[in-house]
Amino acid sequence: MSQPSSPGRRIAVGVTGASGALYAIRTIAALLEAGCHLEIVFSDYGKRLLMDELGPDAKVDRLHDLLAARYGPSIQQGTFDLHSNKDLGATLASGSHRCEAMVIVPCSMKTLAGVALGLSRNLIERAADVMLKEKRRLVLVPRETPMSLPELRNMVSASEAGAMMLPAMPAFYQQPKTIDDLAAFIAGKILNGLGFEQQLFPPWKGE
């Protein structure tokens, strides 16, 4: 389903090594369909999980082809750049760069810890820190179960610092039929968290 258009909005997307690569590419596709310019950073384990979970052809350097094959030509309404997670000199590392919001999807417990503690060990963590210090939207999509006390505390710290904690917990009241329906639900929640209208799942009608 095509998304309501929001041309020109510039959004950062971090993809780390938690399970849930499908959530990442569904979210990226929906933001492209909305006409955004995306600045995308994969961690090394984010790249690995992309292939582990979506197949050997799911390589970051073929991301456009992967998205087009799965979601069709509507992704061409948006554009994206890929950044190296090692490049702390990239635009995203500075608050002067006008990237209005960021999502880390999925967000590993390691990266969650780095964001919660403001470590800025790589571009994903630094860009997240920029969002927090500049009081811009930061959505974190952790996936782990069960969770340790340090992990729970890191979620509280990140939330207190201003991030939205949006765990990868799809709901079932929409009666999903496929795995893609589950991914669309989480992607829709992420778009709402970033301040977008979305049509990935219908709003609850109170019935």
Binding footprint of ligand FMN on the chain (CB under 6 A):
16-19, 43, 45-46, 49, 52, 108-111, 143-144
Of the two residues 34 and 109, which places its CB atom closer to ligand FMN in the complex? 109
Least separation, in Å, of the C-beta of 45 and ligand FMN?
Answer: 4
User: How far apart, in whole angstroms, are the C-alpha atoms of residue 19 and residue 187?
Assistant: 15
Spell out the residues 6+ positions from residue 76 whose beta carbon is closer than 8 angstroms to its own.
Answer: 32, 68
Residue with the shortest CB distance to ligand FMN: 17
User: How far apart, in whole angstroms, are the C-alpha atoms of residue 166 and residue 69?
Assistant: 27
Of the two residues 9 and 47, which places its CB atom closer to ligand FMN in the complex? 47
Assign residue 47 a region (left: φ > 0; alpha: ψ between -120 and 50; beta: otherwise).
Answer: alpha
Of the two residues 86 and 133, which places its CB atom closer to ligand FMN in the complex? 86
Of the two residues 36 and 49, which places its CB atom closer to ligand FMN in the complex? 49
Least separation, in Å, of the C-beta of 175 and ligand FMN?
Answer: 26
Least separation, in Å, of the C-beta of 79 and ligand FMN?
Answer: 25
Of the two residues 75 and 93, which places its CB atom closer to ligand FMN in the complex? 93
Residue with tokens 């950062």: 12
Q: In the chain, which ranges are continuous DSSP H helix?
A: 21-33, 44-54, 63-71, 109-116, 123-133, 149-161, 179-193
Distance in angstroms between the alpha carbons of the first and the last residue of the chain:
24
Least separation, in Å, of the C-beta of 123 and ligand FMN?
Answer: 11
User: How far apart, in whole angstroms, are the C-alpha atoms of residue 194 and residue 197?
Assistant: 9
Peptide bond into 106 cis (omega under 30): yes
Least separation, in Å, of the C-beta of 42 and ligand FMN?
Answer: 8
Of the two residues 99 and 124, which places its CB atom closer to ligand FMN in the complex? 124
Least separation, in Å, of the C-beta of 143 and ligand FMN?
Answer: 5
For the chain, what is the largest distance between any 2 Cα atoms, rounded to a whole number of angstroms? Answer: 51
